[in-house]
A and B are shown apart, each in its own frame.
Chain A
């Protein structure tokens, strides 16, 4: 008993000691620095998730790439309307259908002092084009090989004509890696101490807490504007908003619409809505045996849904209605179908009567719960809107993994609700799911005219012709409605007024475009 008590006593003494130190320390800290603040040399960005990995070929997370773009450089940058801009490549040329010839900038150095050469490009691109265990393999397997011609010149050979090659080379997985460093130190070292060519270099990474980058003063481009950049991972939305309000972070991504008012009411912080590549849509089965096989029914569904009302009431205005998935900023976008939507419940009723469903009809809608912004609420609101015109919807709400299972097995019934992104910024990725072979079991969409356009455009090396083909295809699709497009999601970002920040369509955070006011 005595021994036991003495142990207990000791424990308590230790605890007390710890406590007194606790309060003493906090008193002092309170006086000097109550809360962490970013200073004029340091930018702090708050994300919802941590960087997934520094293996740039083995992730497909936009928010991770948003950080990587500061550490690595692509061969070319996708400048949207300005076309493709030189980054590591000084110039390039499409020699024939399957050969692209590039010339690298000279004098570019990696963070460890190594020179960038064509061998690094070969090493980087051939790895992701050949290793099928990598998550980005699917977007690079079109590359057959990289032929090194000299230290600064090389050719990229594709298996088939690849009009979207430059799009592929300016996104996730496109950063050029240091061959010698990785070959001598190994991947395990690289993912813990990554080395790139970018304006900022790796300093420290506390996983699920913060990643710190520091300025690379030997950067080949314009000198970096910040001494240090901190990317914090704050999974809870309301905590991220609180950090923004107290000045703990300069920029907070993914602000929930419910918090927008709170931020607007606070001085010194602003909310910005900006378009993203994600378009929310209903995907309908057009195969015989489903009520949605009848085009009149599909049109009635489209006309019955008030898309603008969904955007206004559920998303707090953070969306833009659309009738196409290829939104402005993408190669092949049909802008006449963007920013517009159809809503006419009276006509929807007429169409249903015409289709023989004057007494109403019943169909199933499957929707994910918790995957997209307000997905469950949107699905429920659509069910109510469809009920107004006499369509009874059996709503199947599924947790994402269960939804995903049905999605990959293609076992949905009449229609499902989903949102597609497009990191390629090209119509091909947005529309290839509607090609007959790939649509089997999903939409079963089969319009020979659309099919012909999609197939030719996919390998058409004449850009203008290709754009026209995609534009035409989108018109057919908008009429046929194998997918009914609802709205393009907007990102809601909270920004401290001390910095100037314009969110980008690709959701990248090029730190040097963010400046102090």
Chain B
């Protein structure tokens, strides 16, 4: 437990660094005030708004003010929505979680059987087909896949709604879009993990005592092969969040990803800062959880 507490403490400087990087990046990539006003605004209008919003102060002063507010739990106001930035971000989390979990389910449904199959039938035509498919799945850009799925299943076949958030039917196409890339990665991982286990002594022992092949594969090999897979699943959080930026935009899914994209476009700085900080916390947390699961699954690993 001490190990984890220590790791939690270690994240504080990391988060601090993230706030600094994001703070500076949002400000050096363009003057927010001139992004907020139309082309026809006069110089005086720009100046007075800048002054009023406190952008005329030196950057270090602005940063210290931001940190000071942050410690008090104040993430600032969204210009766009006139709302507390943190509330806005938290409001979007459930939609993104829903999409992320659904994609993970899609990824598991695809990758577990395919990964095992290609390991068991190593070097067969089937194996080639699956590993080839995995490369293709990883290589397909998700915006392209999303648009193709919409055209095929929503426009031509009219089986699913095109976009938006609604019932389960609305979830399927975006979940497949986001889940495919992850499935591809997990298939390859399950395959190599299975191959490694299948070559080990205890499998040979299991086979030599006359167990049926299905029991050897499913009970002895797969369970052990799962250890790295489960960790990778937890580590995929960052991939998932990166994926939601695109998938949510393509499918008009009102989650954190779309909020962040729109906020960056409009230079809604408080929202960008709050969202990235929260995402950073999630990624760090999921890494810690991966650590924890790893230890739970494999008692040989000890932390001191």
Instruction: Identify which of A36, A53, A138, A248 contacts B41 (C-beta below 8 A).
Output: A138
**Which residues of B lie under 8 Å from residue A248 when comparing CB positions?**
161-164
A193 CB to nearest B CB, Å: 13
Query: Which of chain A's residues have a CB closer than 8 A to the CB of B254?
Result: 206-209, 233
Interface SS, B side? helix
Task: Using CB atoms, name the residue of chain A closest to B168.
Answer: A25
**Does B154 touch A at the CB level, under 8 Å?**
yes
CB pair A26 B34 closer than 8 Å: no
Query: Residue among A209, A232, A233, A234 with the most chain B CB within 10 A?
Result: A209
**Known A1-B299, A52-B80, A135-B36: A35·B162 in contact at CB below 8 Å:** yes
Q: Which of B37, B155, B223, B230 contacts A242 (CB 8 A)?
A: B155
- From B104, which residue of chain A is reached at the shortest CB distance? A15
**C-alpha gap A402/B102 in the complex (Å):** 39
Q: Which residues of B contact A236 (CB under 8 A)?
A: 143, 147, 163, 249-252
Q: Which residue of B lies closest to A430 (CB)?
A: B40
Contact bitstring B166-183, A, C-beta under 8 A = 1, else 0: 111100100000000000
Q: Does A492 contact B (CB under 8 A)?
A: no
Q: Is the CB of B166 within 8 A of A36?
A: yes
Whether the pair A234, B45 counts as a contact (CB closer than 8 A) is no
- Contact present for A35 and B150 (CB under 8 Å): no
B159 touches A34 (CB 8 A): yes
- Shortest CB-to-CB span from A269 to chain B, Å, is 12
The contact of A25 among B40, B167, B230, B250, by CB within 8 Å, is B167
Question: Which residues of A234-257 are within 8 A (CB) of B?
Answer: 234-236, 238-239, 242-243, 245-246, 248
The contact of B30 among A55, A192, A402, by CB within 8 Å, is A402
Which residues of A sit under 8 angstroms from B91, Cβ to Cβ?
207
Q: Is the pair B53, A209 in contact by a Cβ cutoff of 8 Å? A: no
Chain B residues, CB < 8 A from A422? 40
Cα distance A433–B82 when bound, in Å? Answer: 31
Contact of B12 with A by CB under 8 A: no
Residue of B nearest to A192 (CB): B83
| Inter-chain contact B30/A19, CB cutoff 8 Å | no
Interchain CB contact under 8 A, B172 and A26? yes
Q: How many residues in A have their beta carbons less than 8 Å from beta carbons of B?
A: 69
Interface size on B (CB < 8 Å)? Answer: 70
| A5 and B223 form a contact (CB under 8 A) | yes
CB of B168 within 8 A of CB of A243, answer no
- A234 and B166 within 8 A (CB): no
**A455 at the binding interface (Cβ < 8 Å):** no
Query: Complex: how many Å from CA A137 to CA B34?
Result: 15
Q: Is A95 on the interface with B (CB-CB < 8 A)?
A: no
Task: Decide if B90 is an interface residue (CB 8 Å cutoff).
Answer: no
> A60 interface residue, CB < 8 Å from B?
yes
| CB–CB B158/A210 < 8 A | no
Q: Is the CB of A133 within 8 A of B49?
A: yes
CB proximity of B145 to chain A, nearest CB, Å: 13
Q: Does the CB pair A404–B30 fall under 8 Å?
A: yes
CB distance from B193 to the nearest CB of A (A): 15
Choose one: A30, A49, A246, A421; the contact of B162 (CB below 8 Å). A246
* In contact, B82 and A55 (Cβ under 8 angstroms): yes
Q: Cα distance A133–B77 when bound, in Å?
A: 13
> Does B59 belong to the interface (CB within 8 Å)?
no
> Are A408 and B38 in contact (CB-based, < 8 A)?
no
* A99-136 near B? 1/0 per residue, CB < 8 Å: 00000000000000000000000000000000011010
- Kindly list chain A residues whose C-beta atoms are within 8 Å of the C-beta of B41: 138
Q: In the complex, are the beta carbons of B164 and A408 less than 8 A apart?
A: no
On A, residues with C-beta under 8 Å from B are: 1, 3-5, 7-8, 15, 18-19, 21-22, 25-26, 29-30, 34-36, 49-50, 52-55, 58-60, 132-133, 135, 137-138, 187-188, 191-192, 206-210, 232-236, 238-239, 242-243, 245-246, 248, 400-402, 404-405, 407-408, 418-423, 429, 433, 438
**When A and B form their complex, which 6 residue pairs have the shortest distance between CB atoms, in order from nearest?**
A401-B30, A209-B254, A138-B45, A133-B52, A4-B297, A208-B254
Residues of B bordering A, CB below 8 Å: 29-31, 34-43, 45-46, 48-49, 51-53, 79-83, 88, 91-92, 105, 108-109, 143, 147, 150-151, 154-155, 158-169, 172, 223, 226, 230, 249-254, 258-259, 261-262, 266-267, 293, 296-299
Q: Given A1-B299, A207-B81, output 9 extra A-B contacts at Cβ < 8 Å.
A: A18-B105, A26-B168, A35-B158, A208-B254, A235-B262, A236-B251, A239-B150, A405-B34, A429-B40
